[in-house]
Amino acid sequence: MTAPTELLEAAAAGFRSRFNQEPDGIWSAPGRVNLIGEHTDYNGGFVLPFAIDRRTVVALRLRDDRIVRVASSFAKEAVEISLDELIPENLHGWSAYPLGVAWALGQFGADLGTPPVANSGKADGPSAPGREPVGALDGQTAEFPELATGSGRGFEAYIESDVPVGAGLSSSAAIESAVGVALNDCWELGFDRRTLARVGQLAENRVVGAPTGIMDQSASLLGERDAAVFLDCRDLASEVVPLGFDEAGLELLIIDTKVDHAHATGGYGDRRRSCEAGAAALGVELLRDVSVDDLPRAAELLDEETFRRVRHVVTEDQRVLDTVHTLREGGPRAIGPLLDASHVSMRDDFEISVPELDVAVDAARAGGAIGARMTGGGFGGSAIALTPHAQIPAVTNAVLTAFAERGFRAPELFVVHAADGARREK
């Protein structure tokens, strides 16, 4: 982990060297880890992620014309585009994340000064010349904001980050959230954090092309130190739930399996479609509306595979509620069995685990973790192990040994702490 001041200085220095100017300001947003509640967000259910102490930093300056230039420490070339050409079809590669957010802000009401185009006339979102109305994402019932104004001014941005890429810790949501708060300030849009989360989700869905839910951006924007974000993904109501890991002598260990995963292709979208098919067959809009008591009836109505997908989502929603209750009533040492049960459900019912994740979870438990599960969208990425401080060396050793025995690529293990969400730094 890079010290925050070093990251800020690196972003400012990177900005100066690329653009020969001082930035107007510096903003940052964290990655996230999900404690529990997987593949429940796009089903309108519950999640319990937290923002982590790994951040993405954006140095940004408004220009007097309509040119946008973005650069970063992880790409050789700066990308340049005019606000007039800012449409999803023109955005590719890493710059699709920051530029997608600028586009999505326009879809949510920022007047980017783009020329008027025919309005599609849909009534379920804000409407203004120059943008398509945004439909409700994932059946979210949160209100749309008032129309915002924007300056229509171009900008230059330089991005630096110490959120690991590909580890399932939402490096993409960290970019989206950091750019979202930066442009919200500079363009004086006045959007609240929930709206900025939806802006990030829209960029991810329509520009990057990953059919993901609202969890990652919400954690990055709403996180608080030493606490998790308990989010109802239907109405976006959230509560901060203290974790109490420190007081209980616990650490959250990340086990990055180094197995690549991508949500724009493959299994993530398939699982989403299974959930939608299950909901339709059960006559509900979202699986959130199915309870554990409804499962026997669901078993009669659904084919075997769809039933297992539905059972994961329904029981996972309940596990999130149980985890929040347990954290409040019994403390974090009591949530181990819920984490373990979540992993089994993802492995056997939702089938999104991979051998490396299963080995990581089993070895961590054998080494002394009090609960472990894969985290994030699955098919690779990281597992988490809730571990007594004194057991960290034993758990680390157990995981490294188990991976070596199976001939897996060596994983990376590190501890994360719950941190504050996106903010202006300077």
> Smaller CB distance to ligand GAF: residue 38 or 340?
38
Among 216, 232, 356, 425, binds ligand GAF (CB under 6 A): 216
Q: Which stretch binds ligand GAF (CB under 6 A): 179-187, 211-219, 305-313, 405-413?
A: 211-219
Q: Which of 109, 16, 113, 25 lies closest to 67 in space, CA to CA?
A: 113
Which of 35, 39, 161, 353 is close enough to bind ligand GAF by CB under 6 A? Answer: 39
* Strand pairing category for 371-374 and 382-388: antiparallel
157, 58 Cβ separation under 8 angstroms: yes
The contact mask relative to ligand GAF for 113-152 (x = CB under 6 A, - = no) is: ----------------------------------------
Q: Which of 22, 28, 24, 23 is nearest to 7 (CA)?
A: 28
- Cβ-in-10-Å burial (0-12, 13-18, 19+) of 77 comes to exposed
Does position 100 bind ligand GAF by CB under 6 A? no
Stretch that binds ligand GAF, among 38-46, 159-167, 180-188, 405-413 (CB under 6 A): 38-46
SS3 170: coil
In whole angstroms, the minimum distance from the beta carbon of 230 to ligand GAF comes to 14
- On whether the CB atoms of residues 64 and 73 are closer than 8 A, the answer is no
Of 97, 109, 128, nearest to 192 by C-alpha is 109
Check binding of 163 to ligand GAF (CB under 6 A): no
For the question of residue 162 being annotated catalytic, the response is no
Residue of 109, 278, 367, 377 that binds ligand GAF (CB under 6 A) = 377
Spot the catalytic one: 41, 111, 162, 216. 216
For position 41 contacting ligand GAF by CB under 6 A, the verdict is: yes
**Beta-carbon contacts of residue 399 (< 8 Å; ≥ 6 apart):** 255, 359, 360, 363, 364, 367, 385, 411, 413
Stretch binding ligand GAF (CB under 6 A), from 32-40, 115-123, 174-182, 317-325: 32-40
Residue among 231, 229, 251, 285 nearest 389 (CA): 251
CB of 123 to ligand GAF, least distance (A): 27
* Footprint of ligand GAF (CB under 6 A): 34, 38-39, 41-42, 212-213, 215-216, 263, 376-377
